[in-house]
Structure 1
Amino acid sequence: MKKTLLFIILLSFCGVQAQKNIYENKHFDAISKDHKVLAIIPFLANLELKDNITKEKLKELEEKEGYAVQNALETYFLRGKKKKKYAVEFQNIKNTNALLAKNNITFKNIDIHTTKELAKLLNVDGIISGNIDLNVLLSNGVSTSFNFFDYFDGNANYGRIGIKVSDGDSGKLLWKYEKEINKKTGKNTIDLIDGMMKKATRKFPYDKERVKKNKKN
């Protein structure tokens, strides 16, 4: 009984925390009213693995994880696009990455470029970017076997992810969602993005119905 009560309290706490992890610019509607296309760029990844590997190999794996999140987000948004859920289009990530490479922007140096610079180069209205910190290789798949007490000994925690949307013209942060990654999140990157974005759907600001309502007002 005590274990059950403790579990319910923990779930309730996590629910409250999830709400606090979503930020939206109070001027979002005014800033984004003319947005038509967003680009998803590779995420900045930081790995803290227990494996004894070289710095070069670690950088290679971080790049892999960064592109895996970019791909997973595109997959998620394209499914929503088929259901006509969004008021904006999403630039094909193959085109995004090709344009970045053409301008000598790589995973290693993309963080030194501003949102305004990237948006202009990619010819989009806004940029979807973020960071992911992991102690496992999520893109390779991880165990989802779950024990409640894993939360207390640290075995359930895999890291944290932050997704943000920024305006291309001003560079201002428009929306941000942060979430811890654990065994309940999913077995791979696709599961992670699918699960967290479903929870954030009501708060994702480019919802088609919301935009229609704001235009009427």
Structure 2
Amino acid sequence: MKKILFLLLPFSVLSQTSLYENPDFDAIAENHQIIAMVPFKTQVKLRPKQMKDMDEEQMAKLERSEGESIQTAMYSWFLKRKKRGKMQRIRVQDPRTTNAKLLKLGIDYDNILEHTPMELAKILEVDAVISGDFETNKPMSEGASVALGLLIGFWGSTNSAIVNMSIHNAEDGILLWNYNKKVRGSLGSSPEDLVNVLMRKASRRLAYTKND
């Protein structure tokens, strides 16, 4: 592991990494004009001692906040690439628009897994939808992390986080791209830091940003 990566970013990357790229992704992406990302389903795994000071409603609210934070961070990552001229063809739907469209049809964080990526993409009127799972033992967003610390007195480093991200085609629902990575970091780690580390090398294999 190169030390320079640890010095530049609050996350260091563990060895567990896997990436799948559909062999037709480049060709399919040529016809894409707009993409969207939905909130990531999140699981915050606390120790039993920490859990005793939280009820189910508090935990559900915490995990929902984390999932939406990852969604927003991913949106920001794509916007930065677009600003640099790396994504001139592709537009990225604002998460507020995405979530509002879903909510109008009764789809929210709690029941989003009851709908296929193909269904979600058609509702959102996009060419591809980005979704994923996020697992951590401490919240990444600053607000949630501080709130949790005040609530149960939990401070310290984030031992690990696992992110599993997928891109599905709207027309037929096929999987275009999947990336699974395990990372670890400190209390100051944020969703933006996590996404930057996640996408640092993965973007080279992503049809939308391969020239990044």
Question: Aligned in 2, Cα 1:185/1:156: closer, same or farther, shift over 3 Å?
Answer: closer
**Structure 1 residue runs without a partner (length 5+):** 1-6, 143-154, 211-217
Provide the rounded CA distance (Å) in 1 between the counterparts of 2:32 and 2:90: 7
* Other structure's SS at 2:171 match: coil
Count of aligned residue pairs for this structure pair: 188
Q: How does 1:109-148 map to 2 (within 5 A)?
A: 109-140=111-142
Aligned to 2:176: 174
Aligned to 2:45: 48
Provide the rounded CA distance (Å) in 2 between the counterparts of 1:156 and 1:135: 7
Provide the rounded CA distance (Å) in 1 between the counterparts of 2:27 and 2:102: 29
Contact 1:185–1:191 under 8 Å retained in 2: no
* Other structure's SS at 1:107 match: coil
Aligned to 1:75: 76
Contact 1:175–1:205 under 8 Å retained in 2: no
Q: CA deviation at 1:116?
A: 1.3
Contact 2:66–2:141 under 8 Å retained in 1: yes
* Other structure's SS at 2:207 match: coil
The structure 2 residue matched to 1:206, chosen from 202, 205, 208, is 208
Contact 2:36–2:93 under 8 Å retained in 1: yes
Aligned to 1:22: 19
Q: Which has the higher helix share?
A: 1
Q: CA deviation at 1:16?
A: 9.8
Aligned to 2:29: 32
Aligned to 1:194: 196
Provide the rounded CA distance (Å) in 2 between the counterparts of 1:21 and 1:186: 26
Provide the rounded CA distance (Å) in 2 between the counterparts of 1:192 and 1:76: 11
Aligned to 2:9: none
Runs of 4+ in 1 over 6 A off after TM superposition: none
Q: Determine what percentage of the aligned residue pairs are the same residue.
A: 35
Q: CA deviation at 1:35?
A: 0.8
Q: CA deviation at 1:208?
A: 6.5
Q: CA deviation at 1:17?
A: 4.3
User: What's the TM-score, normalizing by structure 1?
Assistant: 0.78
Q: CA deviation at 1:205?
A: 1.5
**Structure 2 residue runs without a partner (length 5+):** 6-11, 146-156
Q: CA deviation at 1:115?
A: 1.2
Contact 1:185–1:195 under 8 Å retained in 2: no
1:92-126 Cα offsets, whole Å, 9 max, x none, are: 11111110111111110011001111111110000
Aligned to 1:88: 90
- Identify which of structures 1 and 2 has the higher relative contact order when contacts are C-alpha pairs closer than 8 Å and 6+ apart: 2
Aligned to 1:163: 165
Q: CA deviation at 1:137?
A: 1.1
Question: Aligned in 2, Cα 1:136/1:209: closer, same or farther, shift over 3 Å?
Answer: closer
Question: Aligned in 2, Cα 1:75/1:49: closer, same or farther, shift over 3 Å?
Answer: same
1:25-83 Cα offsets, whole Å, 9 max, x none, are: 11212333311100111001111112221111111111000000001001111111101
Q: CA deviation at 1:184?
A: 6.8
Aligned to 2:148: none
Superposition CA RMSD, Å: 2.6
